[in-house]
């Protein structure tokens, strides 16, 4: 029996510089069966362990991508790693997006900052399985253009989907929209009864987006949220991610809005 507390050692195949404080580790993990929206526990030996959403599509069998923002001691150690180094992984864990249920429906992805990571896994899955889904719109915002992640994907996404980008503030070289990501909702014209909205980002951003989706009369069960920021151990033992009697790491990190709308820990 595999001990769930012991990570497996894997090699870093490649490191992608996504932004000034986000790096993607491409890891030598073959044949991993995961669903978009699930996460891994990533260990840097001697420093600690962090939960990280899988940002690559399940259709890729030769590696997985874990995208990490530098926000503390463990993530700083991740950012100092180099190709060829060894790290530890456990997982995949958690409940992913209801991929099969959303087949044939229109999809509206709304991401903020590093919150695009779990969405990227689903977006790239749809790219590879395009015939199974309806219209797809991607709304993505970050503080500045330099903070936007997965920029190497945008041309590909734009060729297949409806992509809208926005930055919170102006910066040199940015000629796109300036404002907050929820402002992009008025640019899409999906038929609400056939649309699922998939949302991930900072809590303030998620609150604003949900409020606007509700004003558009999108049913609660069709608003899909990922709360990746609240987790720690990954297997429901530490209690760090408890919200309203649920554990984000095992009951989520993906929830429908109707499952969590009453939780003051999230919405205040």
Convert the pLDDT of each residue in 27-86 to its tens digit.
999 988 999 999 999 999 999 999 999 999 999 999 999 999 999 899 999 999 999 999
Q: Does some domain include residue 1? A: no
Give pLDDT, residue 156. 95
Q: pLDDT class for 214, splitting at 50, 70, 90?
A: very high
Give the per-residue SS3 of 59-105. Answer: CCCCCEEEEEECCCHHHHHHHHCCCCCEEEEEEEECECCCCCCCCCC
Give pLDDT, residue 117. 97
Give pLDDT, residue 2. 65
Which of 32, 65, 93 terminates a domain? The answer is 93
- Alpha-carbon span 265 to 244, nearest angstrom: 7
Residues 112 and 140 in one domain: yes
Q: Does some domain include residue 80? A: yes
Please determine, for residue 231, whether its predicted confidence score (pLDDT) is greater than 70: yes
Q: Does some domain include residue 65? A: yes
Percent of all residues in the chain with a pLDDT value above 70, rounded to a whole number? 98
Please determine, for residue 1, whether its predicted confidence score (pLDDT) is greater than 60: no
Q: pLDDT class for 263, splitting at 50, 70, 90?
A: confident
Q: Please tell me the chain's helix, strand, coil percentages from 3-state DSSP, rounded to the nearest 5.
A: 30, 30, 40
Q: pLDDT class for 267, splitting at 50, 70, 90?
A: low
Average pLDDT (244-255) is 89
Q: Does some domain include residue 182? A: yes
* H or E segment to which residue 212 belongs: helix 203-215
Which of 93, 118, 136 terminates a domain? The answer is 93
CATH number for the domain that contains residue 110 = 3.40.50.80
Q: Does some domain include residue 98? A: no
Please determine, for residue 266, whether its predicted confidence score (pLDDT) is greater than 90: no
Q: Kindly report the CA angle at 208 between 221 and 267, in degrees rounded to 5?
A: 70
Please determine, for residue 213, whether its predicted confidence score (pLDDT) is greater than 90: yes
Residues 23 and 76 in one domain: yes
Residues 83 and 132 in one domain: no
Residues 138 and 241 in one domain: yes
**Which of 228, 224, 218, 230 lies closest to 259, judged by CA?**
224
Please determine, for residue 240, whether its predicted confidence score (pLDDT) is greater than 90: no
Residues 130 and 77 in one domain: no
pTM: 0.94
Domain count, the chain: 2
Please determine, for residue 3, whether its predicted confidence score (pLDDT) is greater than 80: no
Residues 213 and 257 in one domain: yes
Q: For residue 251, what are the contacts with CB-CB under 8 A and spacing of at least 6?
A: 95
Residues 21 and 68 in one domain: yes
pLDDT tens sequence across 101-146: 998 899 999 999 999 999 999 999 999 998 889 999 999 999 999 9
CATH number for the domain that contains residue 85 = 2.40.30.10
Give pLDDT, residue 235. 84
Give pLDDT, residue 265. 65
Residues 232 and 198 in one domain: yes
Residues 80 and 111 in one domain: no
Which of 36, 60, 93 terminates a domain? The answer is 93
pLDDT tens sequence across 160-208: 999 999 999 998 888 899 999 999 999 887 778 899 999 999 999 999 9
Q: Does some domain include residue 246? A: yes
- Alpha-carbon span 65 to 79, nearest angstrom: 14
Given a contact cutoff of 8 angstroms between Cβ atoms, the answer to whether 231 and 242 are in contact is no
Average pLDDT (201-229) is 93
Give pLDDT, residue 98. 95
Residues 129 and 31 in one domain: no
- Residue 89 is part of which domain span? 8-93
Residues 18 and 115 in one domain: no
Residues 120 and 201 in one domain: yes
Q: Does some domain include residue 174? A: yes
Q: Does some domain include residue 99? A: no
């Amino acid at each position: 029996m595999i001990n769930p507390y012991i990570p497996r050692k894997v090699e870093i195949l490649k490191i992608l510089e996504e932004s000034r404080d986000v790096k993607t580790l491409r890891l030598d993990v073959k044949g991993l069966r995961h669903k978009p929206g699930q996460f891994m526990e990533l260990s840097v030996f001697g420093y600690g362990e962090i939960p990280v959403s899988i940002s690559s599509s399940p259709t890729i069998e030769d590696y997985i991508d874990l995208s990490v923002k530098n926000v503390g001691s463990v993530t700083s150690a991740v950012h100092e790693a180099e190709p060829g180094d060894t790290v530890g992984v456990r997982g995949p864990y958690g409940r992913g997006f209801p991929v099969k249920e959303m087949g044939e429906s229109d999809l509206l992805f709304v991401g903020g900052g590093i919150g695009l990571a779990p969405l990227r896994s689903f977006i790239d899955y749809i790219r590879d399985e395009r015939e199974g889904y309806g219209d797809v719109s991607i709304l993505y915002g970050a503080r500045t253009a330099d903070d936007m992640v997965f920029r190497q994907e945008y041309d590909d996404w734009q060729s297949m989907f409806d992509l809208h980008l926005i930055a919170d503030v102006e910066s040199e070289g940015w000629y796109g929209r300036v404002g907050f990501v929820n402002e992009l909702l008025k640019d899409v014209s999906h038929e609400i009864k056939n649309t699922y909205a998939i949302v991930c980002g900072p809590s303030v951003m998620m609150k604003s987006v949900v409020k606007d989706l509700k004003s558009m009369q999108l049913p609660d069960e069709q608003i899909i949220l990922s709360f990746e920021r609240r987790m720690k151990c990954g297997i429901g033992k530490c209690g760090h991610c408890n919200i309203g009697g649920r554990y984000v790491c095992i009951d989520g990190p993906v929830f429908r809005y109707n499952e969590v709308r009453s939780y003051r820990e999230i919405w205040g």
